[in-house]
Structure 1
Amino acid sequence: MPLTGLMDRLDDTLPLAARPYGLLPARARELGGDVFETRLLLQKTTCMTGADAARLFYDQDLFVRAGAAPRRLRLTLFGEGGVQALDGERHRARKRLFMSLMTPDARDELRDISARLWREAIERWRGRRQVVLYDEVSELLCEAACAWTGVPVTVRQLPAVTGLLTALIEAPAAVGPRYLRGRAARRLADRWAAAHITRARGRPGQGRALDEIAAYRDTDGRLLPPDVAGVELLNVLRPTVAVARFAVFSAMALHGNPQWRHRLAAEDDPEPLEAFVQEVRRFYPFFPMVAARAARDFAWRGHRFPKGRRVLLDLHGTNHDPRLWERPEQFRPERFAGRDPDPYAMIPQGGGDHYEGHRCPGEWITEDLMKTSVTALTRWMSYSVPAQDLRISPRRAPAIPNSRFVITQVAEPAPSVQKVHRVR
């Protein structure tokens, strides 16, 4: 047997790197269940998929996050000491900090900032030969996130800050230069964020997220060290910039489903927009999986979970599980008409409860920013989509179309959609 074939039988590291979104559900189907055991980096790992697996995975009596994320994620995407690696009361207290930033008034403010920046960007794009949507929206959302959190960033600094944050997002599953850029960006971003925390502690608070994080006291009553508080500040900024991927996927969905583009441009009804945004989140690949460790020995569906075992939950495969979704490989926003997503079946940003569990606290602002993006693309501008490579590589995680979605001929929308609408 060739060496690569032997390694594939012993360890799934290389196959998973080649198919980050497809390997886990495919193996589960082959084995006829929702859970199976493999090896990653020669370490025994249990993999799970499906809504029942998600319910189990987010049981905090059975799973912990401390030590679960692979080292390369901590050195790029997450940083050290942040909320993702906490458990118990420390996690609940830290999570309350993040959820306190998600009030209706705060979300309205971020929507208003992003809507203003979208309109300003559209003005700049007129007359340009082409616009690479992913790059432009990443910078737009970085500016919005910094303004919203109270982090001062000048026009000259904005491209560099955006570059740092996007490098963190790009790096975890990468190899070679892209991963090394992410490692270097993490070091720079940590120093930059810690410096903002230190400066915020030396002046009167202004009620922004930066001030709330700088003033937060851990369960021992002490302020977080500046580097840890900086990690939490980045945990607000970085995911906001990551929404640029969903903005691009929204543009792809509008391009591939022109009937929805026409409908969203013509109707002033929030329900179709809500359904469209949810289907974009379900359909397109975002982050493929999340990790935890078994908190104690237990068994589920005939599989033993020894204490300390690393467990992966398949996010993308659950969002495409044919047992949960009719024709999951088709883009069908109508599946969400009048339906609230199941918190364990619809898990692009994790499952369970926002307040008590490990579901992403920024999920609501993700939806808000996506609605603003879709409204901008359908109501505030017209544009052409030239021939380009819109394929999404199955090897790249997090995913993005190869061309990053290029648009041309940006102009005023058609007269029938030039009304100003409030983004809901």
Structure 2
Amino acid sequence: MKTKRLNDSAIPRDRAPDSTLSLLSEGYAFIPNRCRRYGSDVFAARLMLSPVICMSGREAASHFYDGDRFTRRHALPPTTFALIQDNGSVMVLDGDAHRHRKEMFLSLVGPDALRRFSDLLAEHWRRAVLRWATMDSVVLLDEAHRVITATVCAWVGLALPPDEIEARAAEFAAMVAGTGAIGPRNWRGHLLRARTERWARRMIEDIRSGRRDVPPGAARTVATHRDADGRRLDVRTAGVELINLLRPTVANARYVVFAALALHENPHWVAALADADAGTRQRFAWEVRRAFPFIPFIGGRVREPFAWRDHAFEVGDWALMDLYGTNHDPSRWPTPERFDPDRFGTEALDPFDLISHGGGAAVDGHRCPGEGITQTLLITAAGLLATSMRYEVPPQDLGIDLADIPARPRSGFVLRAVRPV
């Protein structure tokens, strides 16, 4: 059967001449809304005056994350891409170059390293709880940025003094907040990222010269890494990859807040987590990642032509893979708006179902190599929320605006009367 191009009728087409304003006003719901409207898991549209194919669901993910079918180059607006990954990073590499660089990241997140990360997070969290207990109230999102920054910097081998933790946490938080924004919030993210990049390059140079003695670990690994061609990363690229270890980890502060919100709205899970085995805490963390909005979608450009749904995807075509909508697909997740960790059961996860960090296998595809850090962080933080402290949640606006990318409870989740346990 002959497949059809974007301006033909093989797949539904969004009726608007350009849907950019709709994307900005609907955010995470933009692709799911149209998939429901057109009764299709794929449709054509125009965004920023460019043709795009929007895809959602498990089958779409299996095509989008199939080997080297898509590249991430030129697949997101430059103002967003520079805050998320930036040029030269593992994300924009393809083929063997991508796999070789990915091996470096995956070597950093083995079981022993993740246990050490969990221990460090618990240590820094308990110190923070003692400080929170002296305050009238705290905004958990802001505090989680600081705790995770202190944790991940110590974990990579760059333990920071308190004043520098504040500076780095503010920079990472601004980068994350600016990714889906247009205007001042995005500009601030870029301004502070420039400061972080100077710091990261200085760390790389100091490690290589011996001026900074760091223990074996992630920072040293990045500083000394050689690509498949045998060449050491240039200082700028090494600095970018160091940031790509730190910033996405700090972005998980939003997941910590979502976990707190889930416990607040489902208080029986506080006691359940306190007495839970490892499997139960794992399912709770999976459900936080499924239920709450984190990354709305990911972009790709076709590298290898293929056909799906009677549509020809040709080299250079732009596509958006719907992560949020796939994690809320009612055909896979019954009553998707209900928070229910027990929906996961005990079976292994299908690599194209829960795709908050991408689909397929991380070792040879574009699934995020930091997924293990996120899962470990969430398991640890949820356990600490349930067992290491008591607190009150005063009246506040805990609503989540899906038009706001990246999403968060509007109040940032305010805690009062914190007491260590």
TM-score between the two structures when normalised by the length of structure 1: 0.93
CA distance in 2, matches of 1:32, 1:389: 34
Q: Is the 8 A contact 1:271 1:337 kept in 2?
A: no
Q: Is the 8 A contact 1:283 1:319 kept in 2?
A: yes
* Aligned residue type for 2:325: G
CA distance in 2, matches of 1:190, 1:14: 32
Deviation at 1:74, TM superposition (A): 2.6
Where does residue 333 of structure 1 map in the other structure? 341
| Matches for 1:269-418 after TM superposition, within 5 Å | 269-413=277-421
Of residues 86, 99, 124, the one that matches 2:106 is 99
Of residues 52, 76, 88, the one that matches 1:45 is 52
Where does residue 3 of structure 2 map in the other structure? none
Of residues 215, 220, 233, the one that matches 2:224 is 215
| Matches for 1:45-194 after TM superposition, within 5 Å | 45-194=52-201
CA distance in 1, matches of 2:306, 2:411: 46
Identity %: 42
| Matches for 1:227-238 after TM superposition, within 5 Å | 227-238=236-247
CA distance in 2, matches of 1:61, 1:164: 33
> What is the number of equivalent residue pairs in this alignment?
406
Deviation at 1:219, TM superposition (A): 1.7
* Aligned residue type for 2:319: V
* Aligned residue type for 2:250: V
Q: Is the 8 A contact 1:143 1:158 kept in 2?
A: yes
Where does residue 8 of structure 2 map in the other structure? none
Query: What per-residue deviation string (whole Å, max 9, x for no partner) do you get for residues 178-225 of structure 1?
Result: 011011122222221111111111116631211100100112211111
Q: Is the 8 A contact 2:397 2:409 kept in 1?
A: yes
Deviation at 1:377, TM superposition (A): 0.8
CA distance in 1, matches of 2:147, 2:325: 31
The SS at the match of 1:36 is strand
Deviation at 1:8, TM superposition (A): 7.4
Distance 1:32 1:193, change over 3 A: same
Where does residue 420 of structure 1 map in the other structure? none
Of residues 258, 272, 278, the one that matches 1:263 is 272
Structure 2 gap ranges (5+): 1-13
Q: Is the 8 A contact 2:28 2:296 kept in 1?
A: yes
CA distance in 2, matches of 1:269, 1:285: 26
Of residues 231, 244, 251, the one that matches 1:242 is 251
Deviation at 1:27, TM superposition (A): 0.8
Distance 1:128 1:232, change over 3 A: same
Of residues 22, 29, 33, the one that matches 1:26 is 33
Greater CA drift, 8-17 or 375-384: 8-17
Greater CA drift, 337-346 or 142-151: 337-346
CA distance in 2, matches of 1:69, 1:302: 25
Taking only aligned residues, the RMSD between alpha carbons, in angstroms, comes to: 1.4
Deviation at 1:372, TM superposition (A): 1.2
TM-score between the two structures when normalised by the length of structure 2: 0.94
* Aligned residue type for 1:197: I
Query: What per-residue deviation string (whole Å, max 9, x for no partner) do you get for residues 356-386 of structure 1?
Result: 1111111111111111111111111111100
Greater CA drift, 137-146 or 31-40: 31-40
CA distance in 1, matches of 2:279, 2:157: 32
Deviation at 1:337, TM superposition (A): 2.5
* Aligned residue type for 2:38: L
The SS at the match of 1:80 is coil
Query: What per-residue deviation string (whole Å, max 9, x for no partner) do you get for residues 155-175 of structure 1?
Result: 111111111111111112112
Deviation at 1:126, TM superposition (A): 1.1
Q: Is the 8 A contact 2:61 2:352 kept in 1?
A: yes
Q: Is the 8 A contact 1:68 1:85 kept in 2?
A: no
